[in-house]
Structure formats: C-alpha cells, structure tokens
Amino acid sequence: MLQWLKKSKNHSWTTETQSIDRHPQIFNLLEQIPSNNIPWTVILLSIGIGIYFSLPFEGDLTITALLLLVVLVIWLVPNKSSLQLKIISLLLIVLLGYAAALFRTHSVKTPLLSSSSKSYHYTMAVDTIEPLQKSRIRYSGTLLALSKTKQQQRPIRLRIRTTDQGPRFKFGDVVCGRTILKRPNGPLIPGGYDFGKALWFKQIGGTGFTISQMKICRNTNTVAKNNNPLFTFIATLRNAIATRIDAHLSEPKRSMARALILGDRGRIKEQDLIALRNAGLGHLLAISGLHMAVFAGTIFFLARAALALFPIYAQKYPIKKWAAIIALFGGTVYFLISGQSIPTQRAFLMINILFAAIILERPALTLRNVALAALVILIFRPDSLLSAGFQMSFAAVTALVVAYQFNLKYQPLTFFAKHNWARPFYYLSGIWMTSLIATLATAPFAIYHFNQFSYMGPVGNMLAIPIFTLLLMPAAVLSLALMPFGIEQLAMIPLGISIEMLLSTAHWTSSFDPAILSIGKITLSSVIIFTFAALILFFTRRPFIYLAIPLIIIALATARPGEKPALYVGSTGDIIALRGNDGQLYAPDGRKSKFVLQNWLKADGDPKDQSEIRNSDKLICDESACSGQTANKTVTLLKNIDALAEECERADILIYKHSITRPCPNPELILTKTELSKLGPHTIYIKDGKTRVERANDFRNNRIWSGTIK
C-alpha cells in the first residue's frame, strides 16, 4: 500500500517470509491493496483529521507530540516483519493527520468576544469585501482597536455587516465606527453546521452589524498588517475589471459576470439566485474546478492553436508544453482576480498539477494527481476536510477521473467518435455524462450539508454546461484578454448573450414544481459508509470491490434518523417550532429569526417557507405567551414575566428568554437565558411520554473554538 515503505533498506519486502508463514491470510489480503500509495495516504490522513474533529474533548499538543515521537521511533526500529511495518505505518499516518488538525486548530487561536451582544467602537483594516443580498455588504479585516477590551482580549479579526448605501471601501482601507458585536454563533441545531468553528479558522473572533456609518479613519497611528503591495495591486485590478464590466453590461448580466469572473456573488438578484440553485446550477456561482478548468483550458487550446500556425516552431519545439506554461500563467491571473476562495485554491492547485504533468510528459488525468492535490490541501489546511466544497469537489473530480479512465479502456462512445457527422453528439454526450456523474457523486454530500437535492440538477446541467463551457467562459477569457487594449466590448456582447441563455435555462428548469426534493437531515455515519464504499470501488481490486455493494445498502438504510424532534428551541429563547399532531412544524407569529426557522425546516425535510408555518391555530399567542401542544405535552414560550404564575401551572415545557428567579415547580423542563446561552439551541424528543433533550453545545463547549476553554 505504501510503496516507499517497500524500499526501506532495513525492511526488505521480499525477505520477510516469517510474517507470511505467521499470518498468511492477513498478508494476502494486504497484498491485494494497490501499490499506489498517495491515495491511501490521503485516506489515512483524512481518518486522523476526522478523529480529531469528532472527539468530545480538546486534544493536547504535548501528549500528541510525545505519542507521535513514540510511534515514529517504533517505525524506525529495524528487524520488524512486513506486516508489523505496514500496521505501524498506517498508525503513523493516521496520527500525523490528527496532529496536523490539532496544530492547525491551535495555530489560528484568537480571543473570542462575549457570547452576549454589546456595542463597541472599532478600528479595522479591510481585507475581505462580500456583497450580500438586500443591499447589504459584509467587511472582514484585521482588528486594530476595540473599545472596552484589553489588548489580550481582542480578536485578531472581525466581520461586520452594514448597508450598501454608504461609501464602498476597498482592500487595505482602515475603517472605524460603532457596532454591535458578539462571538460567532454555533450550530442552529445539535449536530448542525458550526458557523463559529468555520470562522475560528479565519481567526474571526467577533461578528455583528454597524450602528453608525462606517468611515475611513485617516488619523489612526496603527498600520494595517495586511498593507501588502501585491494584495493592494490585486484589489485595484479587481476594481478596474468590475468597472469595465459595469460599463458594458446591464443587470442581471452584470451581476452574473462579476460572480463568474471576480467571485462577487452578492449582487445577483434573489430570484436569479433561487432559480440557479433550484436548477442544480448553484455550483456555477462558486469559482472552482469547472471554472478554472474551462478558463485555463481555453487559454491552453488557443495558445496551442496559435503556435501551430507557425510550422517552423510547431515541428521543432514542444508547443504543447509552451501552451501549458501559458495556460498556467493565465490560470494564475484568474486565481488572483477571482477572490482566492478556498474552492478556488483547490481548483488552482489541481490545474497546476495537471499542466505540470503535461510539461513533464506524464499522464494528467489520474487518481494519483487528484490525491496529490488533496494531500497538499490536507497537510496545510486539514480543516478543509469538513467543508462541503472540499468534499463535493474531490468527490466529483475523483468520479470523473474514474469515468475518464473507463472510457479510455472500453470507449463506449466509439461509434460517435468514428463518424464526422456524429462528432458533435460525441462531445455533447461527454459533457452530459460529465454532468450526470458529477451530480450523482456529490449528491450524498449535498444532501448532508444542505438537506435537499435538486432532482432537476442533471437536466439543468445537461442544458447549461454546454453554454457555460463552449460560450460563456471562452467569452469571459477573451474579454479579460482585450481589456488592456480597451476593446473588451467585442467579447462582452457574446458574454452577455451567453449569460442570458444560462439564466433562461435556470429559470425554465426551476419552473418545475417542485424542482428541489427536501430530504431533511441525514446521518453522518451514512455519508461516511457511502464514502468508504466509493473508495473501495475506485481504489481496490477484487475481491474488495464486492464489499462496496453491502456498504451502499447499509448507507441507504441508515441515512435517516430514527425520529424527528417534537420541539426546536433557539439559543435566544424567543423562537420555537413545535410539531403538531399532523407531523408538521409550527412557529409563533412575528418577523424574527427567519434564518433560524428556515434552517429548521430544511433539517426537518419540510419544503415550506418559514412564513408558511407562522400564524397557526396550533399555537395560541397573546401579549404574554404562546402555547401549543406536541406529543401530548403543553409547550409555552413566555413573553412577559407577569404571566409566569399562570403558565407555570399549565406548561409541561416552559421557555423564557430571560432568567426566572421565582419558584416554578410544575413544568418538567424549564429553559431560560442561562441554559440556552450556555448550551445553545435544543431539540426535544418525546416518545411514550418520556422527554429526551439534545443540546448543540454539549459537544462544542469542550472544544477550543467555543471560547469556553483556553
């Protein structure tokens, strides 16, 4: 499995016959594992990373370093059998993954603000600008000064939301004002996506919104740490490209062009955004592998075609390698102007490996190269393993490479390739099969992270990807190439037309009702089992591949949780959703907590909008309280402390957003500000009259990114 271990001078693979005699069955099984070591190294490293992030307690750097040293010494000790060496090597790689995740987590350590919202005066150096829906914009940057805090209590970075009505700031600007801040939120439901953990790795220790206009602070004596000339140049270049796009395109084409070229997705109209997501085309809005491959691939094709026009060079020099070098340069420029997000970083690394393979005359589309890219990312950013982008992008790429190798070996589309009249069908069928394979490969991860699946996705991709790859992205490449000459409008015309075609396709595909299947929350164990089944299919030979079939069956059988919560309770204590006798969720009327309710509905597998579950007769509300029944239990959301005595008499479960100091003995469960702020959102299960409570922070409070431990 690890071929470099076979070459160890102290451990000859061929001379260790004693282990064969001692453990013939185990040894023969291990021999069946492919010798391509990089994919299996990635898998073992991922297991170690996964172990670290799944533990119910925080790891210790000293103990981990000592354990790693001990295993390394054992690995270096000579005179071990081949089987012993293999087992110790597996353990060593898993431990390296664990250590990498632990070190990465502690290396980005930042102080976190209080869990309760407070007002502050801030000074911040902007390094990230994110336009949002509904005329809002979000700035992130290095914190330079913060009132009411000592230096050692200040987070390294902040993220602040404001309206898009005032002045627009750019990278490197030092801004200040007044804001409401608190530490980043945790999950909205137990076991859900942890917003705070994701921001921890960006060193953001406080989030909030402005309560005074954000402005430039010209008299600050503090110099921004990120005042880098290269970053400033890139930001200036991005602004110049955005200005050119705005000058030649109207809405909604302008917003789409910004998203596809600059990674600026916040300006896209909500109806277009919903249509793209419902049509399964939301991935086109995040610059990743497809964008980078088409962009750099177009440059490669054009460069090679241009060089081939000169036979004196084409016959004498390796123009294919020259074209790969030119494409590498073009891909680098695209990477720099596109915002350099994590998915873009992965795609950039992959495309570099592909073109490097061409330059070195090695096969480009191999599982080894995919694994090499994953290995580099996991070593430097082990937390990426948990992200939807990492999982979905590598699932898609791996499946596509396997399909590509299958096509090379068996050539199922040979008929179309042999006849000139059928070649357009050959290319289109390749694009369609690519879309279908990528959609199926990413489906388990999409359902796990987003609780829904676009069954119209394959149709939307079959129609939209040819437009995207053959028209839109080539026009985007050409428009960027013509901008230095001031004639980019020649390419902007076909770019605008192709964007119109893409949006029309998205709106038509999403018009089917329903375009999205609301699946609800699925278990992590089922996703892990499915992943191992796919890895067995991709990376092993007989008889191991037959294990994949029962594993897939087990994954499907265990995907859905055993029961749904009878009650959801938010961490603020002013929002609940209870399940009526009809099995549907209902919430109090009002306009607060829209985002929270919508996420509860997705986790529940309910396709309704949050506004549809409010104002129901299942919850009787007045100025003092809201009460309803779920599983024969009375649930009361208390609004006014004056109604406490009455509600204490009739409620089985009582929720109040403030503290309760008066006696209230009758309810079997009371949740107040104290419990909810500490333990986070609750899900409550009721079966046969017995109540079971799950709390989001039971696990989280024992980890460093919660701010509750040092």
Q: What is the pLDDT of residue 122?
A: 93
Q: What is the pLDDT of residue 497?
A: 94
Backbone angles phi, psi at 568, to 5 degrees: -105, 135
Q: What is the pLDDT of residue 492?
A: 92
Q: What is the pLDDT of residue 176?
A: 92
Q: What is the pLDDT of residue 33?
A: 40
CA–CA distances in Å: residue 299 to residues 393, 510, 546: 22, 33, 42
Q: What is the pLDDT of residue 541?
A: 74
Q: Are 98 and 53 in contact (CB under 8 A)?
A: no
Helix (H, G, I), strand (E, B) or coil at 424: helix
Low-confidence ranges of the chain (pLDDT < 50): 1-35, 220-226
Domain ranges of the chain: 3-107, 118-227, 238-518, 524-557, 567-706
Closest residue by Cα to residue 133 from 255, 261, 280 = 255
Cβ-in-10-Å burial (0-12, 13-18, 19+) of 624 comes to middle
Q: CA 184, CA 646: separation in Å to the nearest integer? A: 36
Q: What is the pLDDT of residue 414?
A: 65
Closest residue by Cα to residue 116 from 74, 148, 151 = 148
**At the topology level of CATH, where does 118-227 sit?**
OB fold (Dihydrolipoamide Acetyltransferase, E2P) (2.40.50)
Q: What is the pLDDT of residue 180?
A: 94
Q: What is the pLDDT of residue 51?
A: 94
Closest residue by Cα to residue 396 from 472, 322, 494, 290 = 290
Instruction: Look at the pTM and tell me if it is higher than 0.85.
Output: no
Q: What is the pLDDT of residue 21?
A: 41
